[in-house]
Structure 1
């Protein structure tokens, strides 16, 4: 198995794990009745763990110093170190829009923005990999993946036309996710994946705390936190996701990484709906077809284009 194929397999597994993380964070948000507060807990717990690791790891401290030097010498631009803000915006969009447009429309909007942005980010060479041309295979793979997500979500799209205007926000969030993967890869190339992950969590947690503080003035404090320990492991999973993506983007590029993770998310959702379905969730033929189509999209995008 060559390095690209191995990277695709790992990225798909990352997507499966993200599906599990989303389920955990969603359950925590429902128990707190505050999605932003749940995101602060998820990001914040991951950031605390990373800070403990930083405090006891001389290697991480040295690599973080290398990132500071790279920023000071302009090898890295300061804006390349704030990728975590995009993750925070994505989570905030969940709380702002899903109640209006539903999960299905939200997912299609995010994937659409992410795939378009991935093509452009790869073309511009913003990530650590070399610039990738807009080949027929890559464009076809991105288009098929968007169709796959739309098919998987078709049975659950029930928002009216006016509510669909809210889909602009998750589309922008999707654009930001592709950019986040690219710049985190740049930081990882200098400081390593764990330092890139620490910086991502630091900026994302800061942004979410600000949003949560604003929310407190409007909604007040969330409900009493639940005592189920497993609801709080989302941040730990997030550390693995961000670190893995920061490494994989060098080999796969932003588009193929995004496609592989999306495929894994759909497959993970299939497994969760089949084994431990959430309230109101059902495993449908359209979801299964969407998952298969996404895997085909990854295979097409990873192939050699003749155009």
Structure 2
């Protein structure tokens, strides 16, 4: 069996942060495309579709991509991993669904806090269970502190935008959807990391993500179009189509990193990058209503501190849960 490369943590963690920086830009592009098409689901399908076309080209043109394709059928036939892992891309599609259904009510800030809460908590559980390719990772006090501090940091960073989102009682049910989406994201990272090891490259794992995600979004869009009709025609500006290629990079890096860093630390690094990217967009390309205050700047810094705490060693006798 061929193995995907393993990056040292000193390289992997900064790479996770850099990958996370692109997430807000992806969201900005997808939101603009959704407004242009007057159809958020169509925008998501366009993003997945462009990513799929790019991944098909990469898989056919690059030697490692072709090698991964040759390993695809044997890996599935020999059950080197559960076949449900082939559908990991549908989790990304479901995340898009949750955005389109709840952001109008919750707002981006509250959606982000809820999703991060789900992702960090499930990251602990996924690492503990050993689902990912990095094996089991114990739940230590430092990792718990890092998770709590990360959620608090994200909440603090987006707090200036939390006003006017509605009463707590009215938001309880809508909040469950981004929390669930965040929980599933950790499982998606573990699945992608595992399949990348058995394919010998994250290229094939990324390709399969876009195949399954695009299939689900296409089915949903066709159903919606049959009921409500088609939206606006596709725009001609090239930058509307960047989110798909950016998603290819994001998924590929995530699949590569979870083997070295584990699911939790990979997720935390990308969350820190997401906050830094949001801050950069707010400073350089602000949108109407953008607020940059002390919390907006301090939140990402505190998140980086939480990541450093999570990486600190803990004596074996002090572990809360050790597998």
Cα distance between partner residues in 2 of 1:147 and 1:219: 41
Alignment counterpart, residue 279 of structure 1, candidates 278, 285, 288: 288
Deviations 1:149-186 (A, max 9, x none): 11112222223221331011111110111000000000
CA distance 1:227–1:164, change in 2 (3 Å): farther
Please list, as runs of the form range in 1=range in 2, the aligned pairs for 1:259-270 lying within 5 A after superposition.
259-270=268-279
The question of 1:41 aligning with 2:46 is answered yes
**Deviation larger for 64-73 or 217-226:** 217-226
- Between 154-163 and 98-107, report the one with greater CA deviation: 154-163
Match of 2:67 among 62, 67, 81: 62
- Aligned equivalent of 2:256, options 231, 243, 247: 247
- Equivalent of 2:197, from 189, 195, 199? 189
Secondary structure of residue in 1 paired with 2:79: coil
| C-alpha contact (below 8 Å) 2:160/2:291 kept by paired residues | no
Task: Work out which of the residue numbers 223, 229, 232 in structure 2 matches 1:220.
Answer: 229
Listed one character per residue, the Cα deviations across residues 112-140 of structure 1 (whole Å, up to 9, x for unaligned) are 11011100000000000020010011111
Which consecutive residues of structure 1, in runs of 5 or more, have no partner in the other structure?
Answer: none
Residue 40 of structure 1 contacts residue 208 of structure 1 at CA under 8 Å; is this kept in 2? yes
Q: Which runs of 5+ in 2 are unaligned?
A: 1-6, 319-323
Which position in structure 1 is the counterpart of 2:33? 28
CA distance 1:257–1:36, shift in 2 (3 Å): same
Q: State the shift of 1:62 in Å.
A: 3.3
Alignment of 1:148 onto 2:148: no
- Which deviates more from structure 2 when the two are superposed, residues 217-226 or residues 69-78? 217-226
Moved more, 50-59 or 15-24: 50-59
Work out the CA distance in 1 between the residues paired with 2:293 and 2:237. Answer: 30
Contact 1:102 1:159 in 2 (8 A): no
CA–CA distance in structure 1, aligned partners of residues 308 and 69 of structure 2 = 36
- How do 1:129-144 residues align onto structure 2 when only pairs under 5 Å count? 129-144=134-149
Alignment of 1:102-141 (within 5 A): 102-141=107-146
Q: How far apart are residue 215 of structure 1 and its match?
A: 2.0
> Residue 162 of structure 1 aligns to a residue in which SS?
helix
Q: Is the 8 A contact 1:101 1:164 kept in 2?
A: no
- Please give the secondary structure, in 2, of the residue aligned with 1:75: coil
Q: CA deviation at 1:7?
A: 0.7
Count matched residues.
306
Q: Report SS of the residue matched to 1:38.
A: helix
Any idea what the Cα deviations from partners look like across 1:193-233, whole Å, max 9, x if unmatched?
10111011111111111121222234321223222211111
Deviation string, structure 1 residues 24-78 (Cα, Å, up to 9, x no partner):
1121112222211111001100101111223334542332231321221111210
Structure 2 residue aligned with 1:159:
166
TM-score between both structures, scaled by the size of structure 2 = 0.91
Question: Is the CA contact (8 Å cut-off) linking 1:67 and 1:187 kept in structure 2?
Answer: no
The answer to which of 127-136 and 53-62 deviates more is 53-62
**RMSD of Structure 2 on Structure 1 (CA):** 1.5
The counterpart of 1:172, out of the listed 168, 171, 180, is: 180
Work out whether residues 59 and 203 of structure 2, in 8 Å CA contact, stay in contact via their aligned partners in 1: no
- CA distance in 1 between counterparts of 2:226 and 2:161 reads 33
